[in-house]
A = this chain, B = another copy of it.
Amino acid sequence: MDPAAGRREPTMRDVAALAKVSTKTVSRVINGLPGAGTEVTERVRDAARTLGYRPNLTASSLRRSDRRSATIGVLFEDLSNPFDAALLRAVEDRARHSGVLVLAGSSEDDHTQQRELLVSLSARRVDGLVVMAAGGHQDALQHERERGTPMVLVDRPPTFGATDCVTTTNRASSRDAVGHLAALGHRDIAFLGDRRTLWTSQERYAGYVEGLAHAGVPLRGELVRTDLHGEDLAAAATTTLLDLDRPPTALFTAQNLVTVGAQRVLRERGLHHRVAVIGFDDFPLADLLDPGITVVRQDVPGIGRKAADLVLARIDGDTSPPVHAVVPAALVHRGSGEIAPRPGPGSLVGRQ
């Protein structure tokens, strides 16, 4: 099974011996540094090729003064979530073009797992981190940051200082979305949110409240459902809402899985053309559904690029003050958010 069993990996010393030069000269040639004669360079290259020599970045970075591993850590909630995946890809692209590779991990929004991954990444001496922080306290992240590791938080800001961060217009876009629904005449607009410990959930809820206030629509507490982590909880909450005496005529679903869970229930009940929906976060095929789902779309590649740029700049020694970059999101009209309220068989107008 092992085609190379027994053979020892050639080192610079082996190359040096074969080319009859010093290891330092080999080092110069391999790294493309000046100070190596044309003829010697050729001899070294030949020797390296003959032996099948591969540079060892691990040894090199240990000895080099900059101590760089040319590797960054990416610590997201769930690499299989389309949002996280798109973000990872954007970061990876940027990093790759700078010769930097990405060590990726999923924290599952769990502090223990986040901390363990942080320790693992730290032991491998990554040059920097791009992190989607787990909800709640950020002790482990703060600790790592305070050791000096360059760090950029994405999607959610740090609760500690001196750290860059890239987020989107959660509050303003949520306000706009709710305003859009109110402008159509909706007065019973429900809020369905992810975990309350998440900053994005809080911001989107705040935007919902502001949007209602701005439109002069009173907030009905029973229309607010939070801590809906995953499609199933979102579906259950939607069911409960639709069963109210005075059910909502519009839903603002504040996360992609929540939107999908709600959508499932609406279709089961045949209400997808009656109840308006605007979701936060776009998702694949949102435009192919009937009606198309109106969403607040984040510029995910933009966020990833910005985060990567920031962390790479910090690694390169940029010491300017910390930045909180805000990448604008946009409301994408597809139909579900443009459904007007109307009294129907399920409506209770007149009963009030």
Whether the pair A85, B80 counts as a contact (CB closer than 8 A) is yes
Q: Which residues does chain B contribute within 8 Å of A202, judged by CB atoms?
A: none
Q: A79-B89, A147-B52 known; A2 and B288 CB under 8 Å?
A: no
Partner of A162 from the list B3, B82, B120 (CB cut-off 8 Å) is B3
Contacts of A289 in B (CB 8 A): 285, 288-290
Copies of the protein in its oligomer: 2
Inter-subunit contact A82/B79 (CB<8 Å):
no
Residues from chain B with Cβ under 8 Å of A148 in the complex: 2-5, 7
**A229 CA / B106 CA spacing, docked (Å):** 30
Stretch at the interface among A21-29, A34-42, A54-62, A217-225: A54-62
Interface size class of A (residues with CB under 8 A): 35 or more
CB distance from A24 to the nearest CB of B (A): 19
Q: Chain B nearest CB: distance from A28 CB in Å?
A: 17
Give the one of A92, A103, A124, A267 with max B CB within 10 A: A124
Tell me whether A123 is interfacial, beta carbon within 8 Å: yes
Interface contact B101-A102, CB-CB below 8 Å = no
Complex CA distance for A104 and B80, rounded to whole angstroms: 13
13 contacts between A and B (CB under 8 A): A1-B318, A1-B319, A1-B321, A1-B322, A56-B125, A78-B89, A80-B89, A93-B106, A99-B120, A101-B117, A101-B121, A285-B288, A290-B290
